[in-house]
């Protein structure tokens, strides 16, 4: 073979080899713009209504008592923000719709016109009679009501409704929290002073129940009937009014704060004051800073320019409970949300060190109760040592064997 033929043969062989290698070379990967994006799931919208009554400023004890007209709604708004943070991952969007009714308006007509048939998750910040009026309306569609501010024990007992959940501790729960602490301190003889209003009488009734329940004694009981003139009270009324037989602690039922603050440092005997003044039992307090409470306290104050009040906390818990149920059930349907809320699965975080859940027998949110003075936290109930077969939280308020609630009975 000549050199020319050999060279031509080698060129042909090399061309065939290169062509074969080119066929085996894998294609270049697609760029990011070429990769198909997965179709995102549709966003679930959860609409929540908030209905309150326009508040008339009450008589104030002093100019230091600032009237807050919108207690409740700011807490709900803060919870909406928190729910939507989680909603970014669960493809859910929470929306709050706020309504306000005057004292003169017909609550049923207002509700039917603005809320009924449009929203089925409804927060209520209303007096007891209006709460019950709405719960008893013939529904356009089923609805679940959240009582975010009213502490009446009757709403959890003989006046209970199956379509209503209660977020704040009842008067009975608050009274039991105080009684547990006083029993621990061995302050067993009470001097009970009750104000003139119906709510004062209701709180006094809760205190009497607690005293009997925990084996404490009300040695003296009086109703405050004096004027609320501070100059006269500090000079004469309080020392004379409190000149009674010996007692361990002065227990006050004055929910509006008309006279309770007058009692401190003016009683005939030097005794601690508890109840609605002095050491109080409350769902929330500005001095509470444990279990992550500082974080929510600061967030609320930065946003609203004031401390979170009990009503704000109640509304916050209601919206957060809805958010928890919706995200866990991955549903925006009332039946799924309601079933989760009243199930044993609910473990709502309320910045109190214990998961919160609803009592199935009366719709009350079981929770720790804070015991606070004006500028310090004193304790948290249930107090250590008070035991219960299921949860110590049920040592506060009406336990299942004690309840007068019957959801199936005609109201």
- The residue with tokens 């308006």 is 105
Q: Which domain holds residue 130?
A: 44-57+67-169+288-367
User: Are residues 164 and 297 located together in one domain of the fold?
Assistant: yes
* pLDDT higher than threshold 50 for residue 102: yes
User: Are residues 292 and 325 located together in one domain of the fold?
Assistant: yes
For residue 43, name the pLDDT band (cuts at 50, 70, 90): very high
For the chain, give the percent of residues with pLDDT over 90.
79
In a domain, 237, yes or no: yes
User: Are residues 192 and 267 located together in one domain of the fold?
Assistant: yes
In a domain, 89, yes or no: yes
Please tell me the number of Cα atoms within 13 Å of 301 on its side-chain side.
11
User: Are residues 307 and 251 located together in one domain of the fold?
Assistant: no
How does pLDDT run across 113-127, given as a tens digit for each residue? 999 999 999 999 999
Give me the CATH number covering residue 137.
Answer: 3.40.50.2300
User: Are residues 152 and 208 located together in one domain of the fold?
Assistant: no
The residue among 262, 282, 302 that closes a domain is: 282
Which among 346, 324, 355, 350 has a CA at the least distance from the CA of 87? Answer: 324
For residue 55, name the pLDDT band (cuts at 50, 70, 90): confident
Q: What is the mean pLDDT of the chain?
A: 89
The pLDDT of residue 16 is: 46
The pLDDT of residue 37 is: 45
In a domain, 395, yes or no: no
Number of structural domains the chain divides into = 2
The pLDDT of residue 19 is: 45
User: Are residues 232 and 294 located together in one domain of the fold?
Assistant: no
User: Are residues 161 and 210 located together in one domain of the fold?
Assistant: no
User: Are residues 50 and 148 located together in one domain of the fold?
Assistant: yes
What tokens were used for 20? 């074969």
Which among 168, 129, 88 has a CA at the least distance from the CA of 366? Answer: 168
CA dist., res. 257 & res. 254, Å (int): 5
Which among 248, 254, 250, 249 has a CA at the least distance from the CA of 276? Answer: 254
In a domain, 7, yes or no: no
The residue among 255, 282, 309 that closes a domain is: 282
In a domain, 224, yes or no: yes
| Mean pLDDT value across residues 377-383 | 97
The residue among 328, 344, 367 that closes a domain is: 367
How does pLDDT run across 152-175, given as a tens digit for each residue? 999 999 999 999 999 999 999 999
| Mean pLDDT value across residues 136-144 | 89
User: Are residues 145 and 294 located together in one domain of the fold?
Assistant: yes
User: Are residues 340 and 206 located together in one domain of the fold?
Assistant: no
* pLDDT higher than threshold 70 for residue 88: yes
């Amino acid at each position: 073979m000549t050199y020319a033929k050999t060279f031509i043969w080698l060129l042909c062989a090399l061309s065939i080899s290169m062509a074969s290698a080119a066929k085996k070379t894998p294609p270049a990967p697609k760029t990011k713009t070429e990769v198909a994006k997965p179709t995102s799931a549709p966003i679930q919208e959860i609409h929540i209504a908030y209905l309150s009554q326009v508040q008339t400023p009450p008589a104030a004890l002093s100019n230091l008592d600032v009237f807050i007209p919108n207690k409740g709604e700011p807490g709900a708004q803060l919870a909406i923000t928190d729910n939507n943070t989680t909603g970014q991952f669960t493809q859910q969007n929470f929306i709050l719709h706020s309504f306000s009714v005057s004292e003169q308006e017909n609550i049923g007509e207002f509700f039917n016109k603005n809320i009924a048939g449009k929203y089925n998750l409804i927060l209520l910040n209303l007096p007891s009679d209006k709460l019950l009026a709405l719960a008893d309306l013939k529904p356009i569609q089923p609805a679940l009501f959240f009582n975010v501010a009213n502490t009446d024990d009757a709403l959890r007992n003989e006046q209970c409704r199956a379509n209503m959940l209660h977020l704040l501790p009842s008067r009975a729960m608050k009274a039991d929290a105080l009684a547990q602490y006083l029993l621990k301190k061995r302050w067993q003889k009470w001097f009970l002073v009750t104000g003139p209003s119906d709510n004062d009488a209701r709180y006094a009734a809760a205190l009497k129940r607690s005293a009997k329940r925990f084996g404490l004694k009300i040695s003296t009981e009086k109703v405050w009937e004096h004027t609320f003139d501070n100059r006269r009270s500090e000079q004469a009324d309080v020392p004379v009014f409190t000149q009674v037989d010996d007692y361990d602690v002065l227990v006050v039922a004055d929910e509006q704060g008309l006279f309770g603050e007058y009692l401190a440092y003016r009683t005939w005997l030097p005794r601690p004051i508890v109840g609605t003044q002095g050491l109080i039992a409350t769902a929330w307090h500005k001095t509470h800073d444990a279990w992550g409470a500082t974080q929510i306290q600061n967030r609320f104050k930065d946003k609203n320019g004031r401390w979170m009040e009990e009503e704000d906390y109640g509304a916050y818990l209601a919206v957060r409970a809805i958010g928890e149920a919706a995200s866990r059930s991955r549903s925006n349907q009332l039946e799924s949300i309601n079933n989760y809320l009243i199930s044993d699965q609910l473990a709502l975080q309320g910045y109190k060190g214990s998961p919160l859940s609803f009592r199935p027998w009366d719709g009350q949110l079981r929770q720790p109760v804070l015991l606070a003075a004006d500028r310090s936290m004193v304790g948290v109930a249930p107090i250590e040592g008070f035991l219960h077969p299921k949860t110590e939280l049920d040592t506060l308020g009406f336990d299942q064997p004690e309840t007068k609630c019957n959801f199936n009975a005609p109201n």
